[in-house]
C-alpha cells in the first residue's frame, strides 16, 4: 500500500477517534477527555499538513506538522495526569521538553536540513513522551484492575519498541527518501504501525476512562457504606450497624451455646472537657478513647459509638467474669493515657452477660443499670450486673441507728431528716412512681443536702475541727457533682433513679458513715 493511502487511513482513523473523544468530553464535561480530544485533533491536523506538503511552503508545513504531532504524544501523558488528578497536571519539565524539541527541530530544519536527523529526533522525543505516559499510569492507576494496568503498560512499551526499531532502521541505512511522504519501506513501516497504534491509543484511553469512572463510583459507594455503618468522628461502628449485628451475635450464642457479654462505658465528666477546652478538644478526646479501645479489643469483639461520649463493646465467647476483666483492662488503659496536655480522662463501665430468658432490651437495661451504678459510686470503675441484681436495687427501708448520732442536736436532726427524705424516695421508687412524681422529691433531698452541708460546716468551725477544710472540700465536690447530675436529669440524659442512687448511696449513706463519723469524737468532747 502506498504512503499516501496509509496517511489518508491515519487521518480517517484519527478523525473518528477525535469525534468520539469530543462527544465524550462534551457529555462528561471531563477536562482530561477534553485534552485528549484536542490531542487527536492535533494529530489529524499534523498528518493533513504532511499529506499536503506540496501545496504549502515545505519548511513551514513540516515545522507545523511536527509541532502538532509532538503535542499529541505529549498530550497523552497530560490527559492521563488530568484524568487521574496527578498534580501538577502539566509539570514544569513538560515546558522544558517542548522547548528542547522546538530548538533541536528548528536546528534540523534550518541548519542541518537533514530528514534522517529529523526522523531520529522525532522518534527519540516520542519515546521520552511515552515514558511520561508510563509514569502517569503508574502514579494514577493504582486502584484500577491489574489487567488494565498491564494493558496500558503493554501498549506504551510496544509503542516505545516500535520507535526504537524505527530509529534502528534509520541508523542502519534504510532508504528513507527526502520526506515522510515518499514511497519506501521505512515510511510504509511507520504509517502502518501508526494506524495500528492510533486505534490502540484511542481504545486504551476510552477503556481507562471507563475504568476510572467505575473506580470513582466504587470509592463513592464505599464512602456511602462507611457513612451508613461507621461513626464519622471516631471511625467506630454506629448504632445502625449495631442494630444489624446484635441479632446475629445472639443467634450465634444460642446455636453454639457460647456466652455473650455487653460492655457499656462512658467518659467521666466529659462536659467539663468541652466547657474548659472547647468542642475540638472534646472531639480529640473521643477519637483518642476510641483508638485506645480499638487497639485493645480482640478479633471477634465489635466496638460501637453508642452516642455522645458513650461507647458499647460486644464481646462474643465471653462470660461475665471475662467481660469484667476486659472492661478493667480498658479502664486502666484510658486512665493511664495522657490525652490532651496530660489532662487525665477516666471512664465508667457497666458489664452484663446475656441470659437466654432475657430480651435484647432487658439485656441492654442491665448493662445500662450497671453503668449508672459505676458512675454513681465514684466513677472510674467497672460494675457488673449479676443474678443478684435482678431484684430492685433497694428492697428495705433505711433504718437510723443510735451509733450514728454525733451528740450535736443540729447535726443529728439534719442527718435524720436526710434519712426521712431518702425513705420517702425509696417508697416512691418501690411503688414504681413516674419520673414526674420522683423529681420534686429529688429536688427536696438535694436542697436539704446543700443546707445541711452549710450548717455542718458552721458547727465544725465553732468547735475548731482540724480537718474542716478537707471536709468542706468533700461537701463542695459532692454538691457540684449532685448539681451536674440534676442538670443531666432535667435534660433527659440520665434516669432520675440514677440520681436517687447517687444521693442516697454517696451523699447520705456513704458520706455520713465514712466522712462524718470522723468528726463525731470532736463534737462529743465538746
Task: Please report, to the nearest 10 degrees, the dihedral formed by the alpha carbons of residues 75, 76, 80, 83 taken in order.
Answer: 60
- Single out the residue of 126, 131, 123, 125 nearest to residue 180, CA to CA: 123
DSSP letter for 346, please.
Answer: -
Task: Please report, to the nearest 10 degrees, the dihedral formed by the alpha carbons of residues 144, 147, 151, 154 taken in order.
Answer: 120
Cell of 395: 428492697
Residue 341's Cβ-count burial label (10 Å; 0-12, 13-18, 19+) is exposed
Handedness of CA 406, 411, 417, 419 (dihedral sign): negative
Torsion angles phi and psi, residue 58, rounded to 5: -60, -55
Three-state SS annotation for 2-18: CHHHHHHHHHHHHHHHH
- Single out the residue of 186, 43, 192, 45 nearest to residue 116, CA to CA: 186
Cell of 88: 501538577
Catalytic site residue 457? no
Contacts of 420 (CB under 8 A, 6+ apart): none
Q: In Å, how far are 37, 81, 205, 212, 383 from 151, measured between CA atoms?
A: 21, 17, 11, 14, 61
Residues paired with 305 in a beta bridge? 311
Contacts of 109 (CB under 8 A, 6+ apart): 59, 62, 63, 118
Contacts of 468 (CB under 8 A, 6+ apart): 457, 460, 461
CA distance 2 to 349: 86
Residues paired with 264 in a beta bridge? 312, 350
Which one of 30, 132, 249, 309 is the catalytic residue? 309
**Catalytic (active-site) positions:** 309
Amino acid at each position: 500500500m502506498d504512503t499516501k493511502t496509509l496517511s489518508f487511513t491515519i487521518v480517517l482513523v484519527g478523525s473518528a477517534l477525535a469525534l468520539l473523544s469530543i462527544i465524550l468530553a462534551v457529555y462528561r464535561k471531563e477536562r482530561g477527555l477534553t485534552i485528549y480530544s484536542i490531542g487527536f485533533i492535533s494529530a489529524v491536523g499534523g498528518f493533513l499538513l504532511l499529506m499536503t506538503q506540496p501545496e504549502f511552503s515545505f519548511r513551514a508545513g513540516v515545522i507545523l506538522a511536527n509541532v502538532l504531532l509532538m503535542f499529541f504524544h505529549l498530550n497523552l501523558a497530560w490527559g492521563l495526569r488530568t484524568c487521574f488528578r496527578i498534580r501538577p497536571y502539566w509539570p514544569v519539565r513538560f515546558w522544558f521538553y517542548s522547548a528542547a524539541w522546538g530548538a533541536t527541530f528548528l536546528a534540523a530544519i534550518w541548519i542541518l536540513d537533514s530528514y534522517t536527523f529529523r526522523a531520529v529526533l522525532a522518534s527519540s522525543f516520542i519515546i521520552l513522551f511515552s515514558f511520561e505516559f508510563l509514569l502517569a499510569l503508574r502514579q494514577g492507576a493504582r486502584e484500577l484492575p491489574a489487567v488494565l494496568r498491564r494493558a496500558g503498560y503493554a501498549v506504551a512499551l510496544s509503542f516505545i519498541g516500535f520507535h526504537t526499531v524505527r530509529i534502528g532502521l534509520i541508523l542502519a541505512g534504510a532508504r528513507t527518501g527526502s520526506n515522510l511522504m515518499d514511497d519506501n519501506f521505512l515510511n510504509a513501516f511507520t504509517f502502518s504501525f501508526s494506524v495500528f497504534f492510533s486505534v490502540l491509543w484511542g481504545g486504551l484511553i476510552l477503556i481507562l476512562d471507563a475504568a476510572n469512572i467505575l473506580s470513582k463510583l466504587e470509592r463513592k459507594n464505599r464512602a456511602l457504606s462507611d457513612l451508613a455503618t461507621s461513626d464519622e468522628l471516631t471511625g467506630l461502628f454506629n448504632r445502625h450497624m449495631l442494630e444489624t449485628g446484635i441479632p446475629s451475635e445472639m443467634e450465634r450464642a444460642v446455636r453454639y451455646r457460647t456466652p455473650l457479654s455487653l460492655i457499656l462505658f462512658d467518659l467521666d465528666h466529659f462536659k467539663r472537657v468541652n466547657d474548659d477546652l472547647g468542642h475540638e478538644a472534646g472531639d480529640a478526646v473521643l477519637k483518642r478513647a476510641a483508638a485506645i479501645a480499638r487497639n485493645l479489643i480482640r478479633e471477634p469483639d465489635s466496638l460501637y459509638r453508642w452516642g455522645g461520649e458513650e461507647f458499647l463493646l460486644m464481646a462474643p465467647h465471653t462470660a461475665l467474669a471475662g467481660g469484667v476483666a476486659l472492661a478493667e483492662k480498658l479502664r486502666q488503659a484510658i486512665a493511664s493515657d495522657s490525652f490532651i496536655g496530660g489532662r487525665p480522662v477516666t471512664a465508667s463501665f457497666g458489664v452484663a452477660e446475656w441470659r437466654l430468658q432475657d430480651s435484647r432490651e432487658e439485656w441492654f437495661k442491665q448493662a445500662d443499670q450497671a453503668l449508672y451504678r459505676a458512675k454513681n459510686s465514684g466513677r472510674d470503675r467497672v460494675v457488673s450486673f449479676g443474678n443478684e441484681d435482678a431484684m430492685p436495687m433497694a428492697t428495705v427501708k433505711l433504718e437510723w441507728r443510735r451509733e450514728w448520732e454525733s451528740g450535736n442536736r443540729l447535726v443529728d436532726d439534719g442527718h435524720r431528716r436526710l434519712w426521712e427524705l431518702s425513705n420517702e424516695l425509696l417508697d416512691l421508687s418501690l411503688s414504681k412512681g413516674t419520673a414526674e412524681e420522683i423529681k420534686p422529691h429529688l429536688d427536696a433531698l438535694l436542697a436539704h443536702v446543700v443546707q445541711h452541708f452549710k450548717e455542718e460546716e458552721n458547727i465544725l468551725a465553732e468547735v475548731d475541727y482540724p480537718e474542716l477544710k478537707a471536709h468542706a472540700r468533700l461537701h463542695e465536690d459532692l454538691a457540684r457533682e449532685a448539681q451536674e447530675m440534676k442538670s443531666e436529669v432535667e435534660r433527659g440524659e440520665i434516669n432520675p433513679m440514677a440520681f436517687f442512687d447517687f444521693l442516697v448511696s454517696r451523699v447520705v449513706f456513704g458520706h455520713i458513715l465514712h466522712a462524718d463519723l470522723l468528726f463525731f469524737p470532736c463534737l462529743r468532747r465538746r
